[in-house]
């Protein structure tokens, strides 16, 4: 017993090789079509009870921002922990409001394996999940899509939407028309529209991607058969028009979306979770998706660690295959 105690007392970790991936390297290692399929698989695993996805703790920094720790794991993946800091004042300094790193650990030993930038992953997995909802829930004949917003999320939506439907027109609108024009100019074939109402009223797909503290659109602008997604997070009210909930079918990442922030979505707080369907339940065939061309379908995102896990896994595997990044010893 004494000998074993001495061995334990002298154990050291030693130098462990850890792969470091920069933001540029992460971007180069994520294929957007692969991402949509990976997210679909992740949602199926989540609703199938195969993902450990605990509630995220929040650390508040008064008058500055907040920090979230987002862990997740499933068989075949690394232990994944994202640390994301949300500081709205950064935008005025030319810095993204959401800054993140993602840490991968060996599930057999807990040893660190990789540290990668998570800022791009946070943006692309959020928009990717929303556009996945478009792929699975929008009418097959949907021809006109409108993105409301002109920031990071809107930009990512514009990259992803052409991958899921052959839209005849993709529009972008914003409270400042000049911002919409600037974003549209970065994407071939995207049109900036000045009137949000006019754009929404004639759209088959509406993607809300704002940082609005109040409803970004009116529920009565949404015509039958439209799919509406929302990724904006701005408590206490948020961007989604709550009057729309009574007009269609709501889909969420997980029923935890109905819990209070920071776990859930502010627009859904206090609502009956039975009114929502997990995206994974629909993908598994456990619950129906769109059932008619006149049905309004809705997707409200809150952002979950499973999405970070599957996206980081894509980036890590391709980085290893292609010899990206650099090794450091920890």
Could you tell me which residues are beta bridge partners of residue 169? 144
How far apart CA 153 and CA 160 sit, in angstroms, is 11
- pLDDT confidence of residue 96: 87
Q: Which residue is it, tokens 């027109």? A: 169
Q: Which helix (H) or strand (E) holds 7?
A: helix 2-10
- pLDDT confidence of residue 98: 87
The answer to whether 16-121+306-329 and 139-302 have equal CATH topology is no
How far apart CA 219 and CA 175 sit, in angstroms, is 17
Cα 22 to chain centroid distance, Å, stands at 20
Give the residue extent of every domain in the chain.
16-121+306-329, 139-302
Chunked into runs of 10 residues, the chain (330 residues) has average pLDDT values of: 59 89 98 98 98 92 94 97 93 89 97 97 97 98 98 96 98 97 97 98 98 95 98 90 95 92 84 95 97 97 96 98 95
Nearest to 222 by CA among 243, 253, 193: 243
Question: Under a CB-based contact definition with an 8 Å cutoff, are residues 165 and 134 in contact?
Answer: yes
Question: Under a CB-based contact definition with an 8 Å cutoff, are residues 325 and 28 in contact?
Answer: no
Q: Which helix (H) or strand (E) holds 324?
A: none
Q: Are strands 276-278 and 248-252 parallel, antiparallel or unpaired?
A: parallel
- pLDDT confidence of residue 263: 78
Residue 8, judged by CB atoms within 10 A of its CB (0-12, 13-18, 19+), counts as exposed
How far apart CA 25 and CA 37 sit, in angstroms, is 21
CATH class of the 16-121+306-329 domain in this structure: alpha beta
Going through 62-168 in order, the beta strands assigned E by DSSP cover 65-74, 79-86, 98-105, 112-117, 144-148
Strand, coil or helix: what is 116? strand
DSSP-assigned letter for residue 71: E
Q: Are strands 190-192 and 169-173 parallel, antiparallel or unpaired?
A: parallel
DSSP-assigned letter for residue 227: E
139-302 has which CATH code?
3.40.50.720
Phi and psi dihedrals of 22, rounded to 5?
A: -75, 170
- pLDDT confidence of residue 167: 98
């Amino acid at each position: 017993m004494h000998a074993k105690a001495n061995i334990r007392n002298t154990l050291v970790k030693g130098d462990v090789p850890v792969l470091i991936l920069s933001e540029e390297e992460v971007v180069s290692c994520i294929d957007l079509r692969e991402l949509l399929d990976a997210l679909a698989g992740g949602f199926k695993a989540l609703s199938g009870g195969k993902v450990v996805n605990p509630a995220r703790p929040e650390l508040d920094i008064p008058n500055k921002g907040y920090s979230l720790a987002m862990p997740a794991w499933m068989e075949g993946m690394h232990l994944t922990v994202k640390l994301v800091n949300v500081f709205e004042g950064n935008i005025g300094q030319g810095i993204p409001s959401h800054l993140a790193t993602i840490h991968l650990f060996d599930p057999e030993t807990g040893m660190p394996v990789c540290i990668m930038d998570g800022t791009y992953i946070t943006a692309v997995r959020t928009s990717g999940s929303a556009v996945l909802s478009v792929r699975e829930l929008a009418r097959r004949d949907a021809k006109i899509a409108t993105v409301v917003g002109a920031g990071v999320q809107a930009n990512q939506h514009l990259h992803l939407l052409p991958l899921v439907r052959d839209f005849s027109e993709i529009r972008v609108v914003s409270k400042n028309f000049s911002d919409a024009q600037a974003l549209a100019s970065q994407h071939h074939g995207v049109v900036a529209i000045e009137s949000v109402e006019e754009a929404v009223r004639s759209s088959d797909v509406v993607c809300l991607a704002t940082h609005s503290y109040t409803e970004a659109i009116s529920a009565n602008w949404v015509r039958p058969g439209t799919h509406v997604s929302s990724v904006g997070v701005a408590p206490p009210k948020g961007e989604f028009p709550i009057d729309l909930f009574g007009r269609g079918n709501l889909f969420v990442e997980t029923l935890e979306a109905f819990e209070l922030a920071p776990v859930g979505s502010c627009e859904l707080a206090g609502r009956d979770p039975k009114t929502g369907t997990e995206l994974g339940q629909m993908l598994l065939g456990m619950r129906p998706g769109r059932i008619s061309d006149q049905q309004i379908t809705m997707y409200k995102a809150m952002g979950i660690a499973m999405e970070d896990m599957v996206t980081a896994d894509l980036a890590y595997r391709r980085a290893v295959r292609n010899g990206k990044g650099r090794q450091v010893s920890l």
